[in-house]
Amino acid sequence: MSDISKSIKEHVQARTITLRDGTELPSLGQGTWHMGDNAGLREQEIEALRTGLDYGMTVIDTAEMYGGGKAEELAGEALEGRREEAFVVSKVLPNNAGGEKLEKACEGSLSRLGVEQLDLYLLHWSGSVPLKETVKGMEKLKADGKIKRWGVSNLDTREMKELLSLEHGGNAVCNQVLYHLASRGIEFDLMPWMKDQRMPVMAYCPLDQGGGRTLGESRTLQRIAERRSMTPLQIALAWTIHSGMVLSIPKTSNPEHVRENAEAASVTLTNEEVEMLDRAFPKPQTKQPLDIV
């Protein structure tokens, strides 16, 4: 590894968040949504995930829903020989989130990923299965050694309060939600509440949809990026982690873009830059529906 690559990795490793159970992780990880959908991109996508590991972006997030398991299979191939370097996250569909279905779904994810244990298993979003039943099932998976810890995804404040009121519900270590500069609704009540509970946010789509085209066109982001000799999207990604309580999981199939994402960890935004971004992308003043894509 070159000195420049080592420097990038050091910056990534220096920016961390802490899960509710005390586990420390880098603030930048890797998403896999839509990976595995195009066979022609398979080798490139595997290389992208491995490049991320090289740069210290050790959290790899996937789900049984992504490509009907294809993303998990691809992530599993990327992890061959490197399992100990990675923190592997997968998610269970709501209709599988209880009883024997939960156990079977978890075993399916383990098989596709080629691992014996998930570092983190998330409820993808809430459905008809009561949270109480999901918590019970997650705790059993922990006791059986199939998962190390569990959490949730796409739960808003009311559901999170319900979750933590349940027996063992407080064992949830995080909540994964959509969060980026143009989608800040969680800052009104969900994020402050989670901060009080010492529970970090996992931010999916931190660069928005469509490769971040909307964010990339922001004049404010462009100005800040020019000053720092960075790209607008690197600044947008740096913004998501500046609070110290967000783990961002950008997805890219391009190894060069992985490097650009990793370099965002070297950016510490100034108060002036944060204020500029607040003016360009205003904070919510009222309760907003939870954005889900």
Active site residues: 66
Q: Does 124 appear as a known binding residue?
A: yes
CA pair distance 106, 250, nearest whole angstrom:
24
- The residue length of the chain stands at 293
Q: Please enumerate in sequence order all residues whose Cβ is within 8 A of that of 200, keeping only pairs 6 or more positions apart, or say none.
A: 17, 18, 19, 20, 174, 194, 245, 246, 247
- Residue list for the binding site: 124
- Residue list for the binding site for substrate: 124
